[in-house]
């Protein structure tokens, strides 16, 4: 997942205003009485976008990422950072459903952003993720994550082949289909490279995402030993979504 299109994730910065998103989440942590320095888990850390922003605020960041291509971009960016920021960043390859922290480490807080939970397409995967986070957080620790709303699946993840990225060297075309009855969205991304003869296909990547009803998520976290602190409408793409709030931003405290 995100192996052939990792560059697109980074090129679009995943969030339109990542610094604003970081500030919003930092405010959630502060309101809950959790501040750096401390150990922050970035679950589904991608290209390190949010990890780096939080490390710059003083957090010790431990990231977990499944995609080797994403991690390669993250580690490349890390080398260009000041030494003191590099020292606060550590990423490990792994699955957020079954990750294990180094011996003796507990997380003070954790983030799971950019609809990562919707990439867990089977419900048992969601439950495994929740259990892994519960084990990783210290009692009283806070998890902040976002999930896509049904309206986002019905619109953004349901369209014919569309060019979603193009520059002088590469072009990405994506097609999405959403099944209302199952809540499953499937999309195919085709990456092409510019050549003197025109665009030439490099790769294709298929991906599935799953809508998880908000009530079901809330109940699953409660059953696993989390207390819901807040669930708020969340729009990290204000110029893209003017008439739609695409996400819910959740905060759960580990009891």
**All structural domains of the chain with their residue ranges:** 6-148+212-254, 152-210
Compute the half-sphere exposure of residue 91: CA atoms within 13 Å on the CB side of its CA. 28
How far is CA 97 from each of CA 65, 91, 102, 178, rounded to the nearest angstrom?
Answer: 11, 16, 16, 24
Closest CA to 116 of 203, 196, 210, 32: 210
Residues ≥6 apart with Cβ < 8 Å to 79: 86
Least confident range of 59-63, 73-77, 190-194, 236-240: 236-240
The pLDDT value recorded for residue 240 is 76
pLDDT tens readout for residues 38-60: 999 999 999 999 999 999 999 99
Least confident range of 53-57, 64-68, 162-166, 217-221: 162-166
Neighbours of 190 (CB within 10 A): 19
pLDDT over threshold 90, residue 63:
yes
pLDDT over threshold 80, residue 6:
no
pLDDT over threshold 70, residue 72:
yes
The pLDDT value recorded for residue 3 is 63
Q: How confident is the model at residue 102 (pLDDT cuts 50, 70, 90)?
A: very high
Cβ-contact 182, 152 below 8 angstroms? no
Cβ-contact 70, 6 below 8 angstroms? yes
Q: How far apart (Å, rounded) are the C-alpha atoms in residues 94 and 209?
A: 19
Per-chain mean pLDDT for the chain: 93
| Percent of the residues in the chain that have a pLDDT greater than 70, as a whole number | 94
pLDDT over threshold 60, residue 1:
no
The pLDDT value recorded for residue 238 is 83
Query: What average pLDDT score do residues 163-182 get?
Result: 93
CATH topology for 152-210 is: N-terminal domain of TfIIb (2.20.25)
Q: Which pTM does this prediction carry?
A: 0.94
Q: How far apart (Å, rounded) are the C-alpha atoms in residues 70 and 3?
A: 7
pLDDT tens readout for residues 238-254: 877 888 999 999 999 99
pLDDT over threshold 90, residue 8:
no
The pLDDT value recorded for residue 195 is 95
Neighbours of 200 (CB within 10 A): 10
Query: What average pLDDT score do residues 152-162 get?
Result: 94
107-112 and 89-93 strand pairing: unpaired
Which superfamily is assigned to 6-148+212-254 in CATH? Vaccinia Virus protein VP39 (3.40.50.150)
pLDDT tens readout for residues 18-32: 999 999 999 999 999
Strand partners, 101: none
| Percent of the residues in the chain that have a pLDDT greater than 90, as a whole number | 83
pLDDT over threshold 90, residue 9:
no
């Amino acid at each position: 997942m995100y192996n052939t299109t990792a560059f697109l994730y980074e090129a679009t910065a995943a969030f339109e205003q990542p610094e604003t998103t970081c500030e919003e989440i930092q405010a959630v942590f502060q309101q809950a009485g959790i501040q750096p320095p401390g150990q922050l888990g970035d679950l589904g850390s991608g290209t390190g976008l949010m990890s780096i922003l939080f490390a710059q605020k003083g957090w010790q960041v431990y990231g977990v990422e499944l995609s080797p291509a994403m991690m390669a971009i993250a580690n490349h960016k890390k080398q260009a950072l000041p030494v003191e920021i590099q020292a606060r960043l550590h990423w490990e390859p792994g699955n957020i459903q079954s990750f294990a922290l180094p011996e003796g480490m507990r997380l003070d807080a954790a983030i799971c952003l950019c609809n990562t939970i919707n990439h867990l397409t089977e419900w048992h995967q969601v439950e495994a993720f929740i259990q892994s986070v519960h084990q990783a957080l210290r009692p009283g620790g806070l998890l902040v994550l976002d999930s896509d709303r049904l309206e986002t699946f019905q619109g953004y993840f349901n369209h014919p082949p569309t060019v979603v990225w193009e520059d002088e060297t590469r072009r990405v075309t994506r097609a999405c289909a959403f099944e209302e009855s199952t809540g499953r969205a499937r999309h195919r991304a085709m990456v092409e490279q510019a050549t003197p003869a025109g665009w030439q296909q490099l790769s294709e990547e298929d991906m599935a995402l799953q809508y998880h009803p908000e009530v079901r998520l809330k109940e699953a976290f409660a059953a696993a030993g989390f207390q819901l602190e807040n669930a708020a409408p969340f729009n990290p793409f204000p110029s893209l979504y003017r008439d739609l709030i695409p996400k819910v931003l959740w905060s759960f405290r580990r009891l």
